[in-house]
Structure 1
Amino acid sequence: MSIDLPDPHDEEAGYPSKTQRKNEMKALQALGERIIAMSDAERARLPLSDDMRFAVEETSRIRSREGRRRHMQYVGKVMRREDLAAIQATFDAIEQESLQRDNAFHRLEHWRDRLIEDDSADALETFIAEYPEVDRQTLRQLIRNARSERQREKPPTNARKLFKLIRETAGL
């Protein structure tokens, strides 16, 4: 009596092809590269095993191109044992935080530009209404100086100071 074992090269039986396995390994290596490129603080948030943390730390000590290539293959191998869904969820959370920070930054830049460009008191009063704890005297002085710099085509030193004041007032 012979037992019919599925052919490991048969894609219809559910086994991935060699090309699929290579593509998966390249994707895991690319994910490893992303993890290595992260800052230490961001990387600390990832749910990584001790083996993966060691492999990531080891990467910084490797100088030769071929050694790094082989090490990245090892990182891809270690990545197979990691919880990829949890890692991706953390990546998404970090990216979302970055987008929110960028949007807040753009809102503050918009406030700065609006305060400098709007000669009427509308923008200033609106800003003060939204942020009543702002130092009004410093705010008015920086706006006045930033406008003067812009008219004289000088470097935007006071515009930067104004942005810093707005950022500190907004708590970012």
Structure 2
Amino acid sequence: MSQESPRELLAQISQQDDEPVSKSQLKREMHALQQLGEAIIAMTPAERARFPLSDDMLAAVEETSRIRSHEGRRRHMQYVGKVMRREDLAAIQAVYDEIAQETLRRDHAFHRLEKWRDRLLDEGDSAVEAFIDEFPEVDRQALRQLIRNAHREREQGKPPTNARRLFKLIRETAGV
């Protein structure tokens, strides 16, 4: 199976012409639907709940967690692909795109916070002042204490417990 994203798979399936479809094309579409089903199954229950899935598809998703054997799971994924043919693929694609955008925004926010943490630990007071200017509601005493403790841990070669606490403080302050 190819390693394409569900978005690409949906685009392939939706690009059907009025011409007759070959048996090979039908197989490719079936594999694409199976991969889409696997992607939906791999999501968290909260994310899955956002998709407009039929009762049959929801039952197939729930059944997947009970299947332990490899061959049984393979056959079940074929069934999931068959059920996916009856789903509203355009609506599923819209929800999938929305979830992908939210994930991307969250990842960018975390990278920004990681950069703040690294900057606070590496640059010292100038970075602390810049952080306080951007987030005036931060607990300044706790911020400075965590930075001092993280420096001490780094010098002593200890695990970065206070650097993690610093990141948590930054995350809570930024509201992410």
After superposition, the CA RMSD in angstroms is 1.5
Shift of 1:69: 2.0
Structure 2 alignment gaps of length 5 or more: 1-16
What's the counterpart of residue 132 of structure 1?
A: 136
Letter in 1 for 2:112: R
* Higher relative contact order, chain-length normalized (CA < 8 Å, sep 6+): 2
Matched, 1:86 2:91: yes
28, 31, 34: which one pairs with 1:26? 31
Question: Measured at CA, do residues 17 and 162 of structure 1 come closer, stay the same or move farther in structure 2, by a change above 3 Å?
Answer: same
Determine helix, strand or coil for the equivalent of 2:170: helix
Figure out how many residues of one structure are paired with residues of the other and give that number: 160
After the TM superposition, which segments of 4 or more aligned residues of structure 1 sit over 3 Å from their partners?
none
What's the counterpart of residue 104 of structure 2?
A: 99
Judge conservation of contact 1:36–1:56 (CA < 8 Å) in 2: yes
Letter in 1 for 2:84: M
116, 128, 131: which one pairs with 1:111? 116
Structure 1 alignment gaps of length 5 or more: 1-11
Larger radius of gyration: 1
Matched, 1:151 2:155: yes
Deviations 1:71-98 (A, max 9, x none): 2121111111111111112111111111
TM-score between both structures, scaled by the size of structure 2: 0.86
* Distance in 1 of aligned mates of 2:72 and 2:119: 53
Residue identity (%): 73
Judge conservation of contact 1:112–1:166 (CA < 8 Å) in 2: yes
Shift of 1:25: 0.7
Judge conservation of contact 1:117–1:147 (CA < 8 Å) in 2: no
Letter in 1 for 2:123: D
